[in-house]
Amino acid sequence: MPQSPPRLHRRPAPSQGTIRLGENPRKHSFAFLLLDRFTMMAFASAIEPLRLANQVSGRDLYEWQLVSEGKRDVSCSNGAVFRTDLGLEELSRDSTVLVCGGIDVAEAISKPVLNWLRREARRGAAMGGLCTGAWALAEAGLLDGRRATIHWENTDAFNEDFPDVELTRSVFVIDGNRLSTAGGTASIDLMLRLIAIDHGEQLANTVADQMIHSSIRTDRDSQRLSIPTRIGVRHPKLAQVIGQMEGNIEEPISPAALATEVGMSARQLERLFRRYLNRSPKRYYMELRLQKARNLLMQTEMSVINVAMACGFASPSHFSKCYRAHYQTTPYRERGTSGGSEAVGAPEADH
């Protein structure tokens, strides 16, 4: 029996040099400051578009270095360890500094890091924050009077600690030489925008194609899913009421007023929530307020009393009752401190 010819293994077509640019294109340098427990996805989503821009153009358009305090290795939130190139040293004047944040970002920021960020900003460096990295820029006073964004889970705490920053819910923000992203894949969209600014839309679109990133978002896109997508229900009046609840945490609106606003009776609104969410409007609203309270307790130094007020509770005792019923612990224990007067009892009735 004749033998079949040997199978030929062919390499995939290379993408090297597929986009032609003009002579001597400008090189752009980035310094990624890695904070302890930074988010790998946000970091990788920022650095890979730069690598691919070099690859598809056949030019060294971008270069980057990894920076850490003391030039030490840094662990990201998934446990992987990164070796860095530089300590907190002076960078070249055209470098853009991107702070990579993640879990417990406030604890990862040291005085030497803040001083370094301020010094580089005084030298005119563009500064950005990936994921929770904007927290470090705000702590250094580099976002006062600026627009910025941060991961949605940190917005409540950020607004409380940095009232002089105009925080948005966008996937990324470019405000002059201040950049910020909401984390995750939002870094891709920011870097594609910077590539388009530097070298044109064609290069940015080619990089997006290489990444199978089929829908490039702009700074006008919101970072969170729509309310109908989040709750798994497409009912316009239900979504409208929940939007009102989410926007009025500190001064809650009564279910009767919410019902009137969407042209329903209070009884009809009750039935709508029971049918689609298996809870009353009052209970759903309470859970939203308690969720915000937990974020503030875990992410800020606000007192329990101030957290209670920020989430629409008239008294700390009522707040403690409701919190314990929902989370099986008290606000004081959640914070890791002892409360002087924890109230005992059940939350107000769900009706």
Mean pLDDT of the chain: 87
Asked if 148 and 166 count as a contact pair (C-beta separation under 8 A), the reply is yes
Tokens of 185: 């894949």
Spatial separation of the C-alpha atoms in residues 285 and 249, rounded to whole Å: 8
Q: What is the pLDDT of residues 56-109, one digit of tens each?
A: 999 999 999 999 999 999 999 999 999 999 999 888 778 999 999 999 999 999
Gyration radius of the chain's alpha carbons: 25
Position 337, amino acid: T
Residue 13: its pLDDT value, please? 52
Position 343, amino acid: A
Query: CA dist 132 to 76, 147, 201, 221, 243, Å?
Result: 13, 15, 28, 18, 25
What average pLDDT does range 256-261 have in this prediction?
Answer: 93
- Cβ-in-10-Å burial (0-12, 13-18, 19+) of 155 comes to buried
Percent of residues, the chain, with pLDDT higher than 70 = 87
Q: What is the pLDDT of residues 167-184, one digit of tens each?
A: 998 999 999 999 999 999
Residue 224: its pLDDT value, please? 65
3-state secondary structure the chain: CCCCCCCCCCCCCCCCCCCCCCCCCCCEEEEEEECCCECHHHHHHHHHHHHHHHHHHCCCCEEEEEECHHHCCEEECCCCEECCCECCCCCCCCEEEEEECECCHHHHCCHHHHHHHHHHHHCCCEEEEECCCHHHHHHCCCCCCCEECCCHHHHHHHHHHCCCCEECCECEEEECCEEEECCCCHHHHHHHHHHHHHHCHHHHHHHHHHCCCCCCCCCCCECCCCHHHHHCCCCHHHHHHHHHHHHCCCCCCCHHHHHHHCCCCHHHHHHHHHHHHCCCHHHHHHHHHHHHHHHHHHHCCCCHHHHHHHCCCCCHHHHHHHHHHHHCCCHHHHHCCCCCCCCCCCCCCCC
Q: What is the pLDDT of residues 140-162, one digit of tens each?
A: 999 999 999 999 889 988 998 99
Confidence label for 308 from pLDDT (cuts 50, 70 and 90): very high
Spatial separation of the C-alpha atoms in residues 164 and 9, rounded to whole Å: 60
Residue 109: its pLDDT value, please? 96
Residue 1: its pLDDT value, please? 56
- Which of 187, 69, 176, 70 is CA-nearest to residue 132? 187
b (16+ CB within 10 A) / e for 328-343: eebbbbbbeeeeeebe
Record the pTM: 0.72
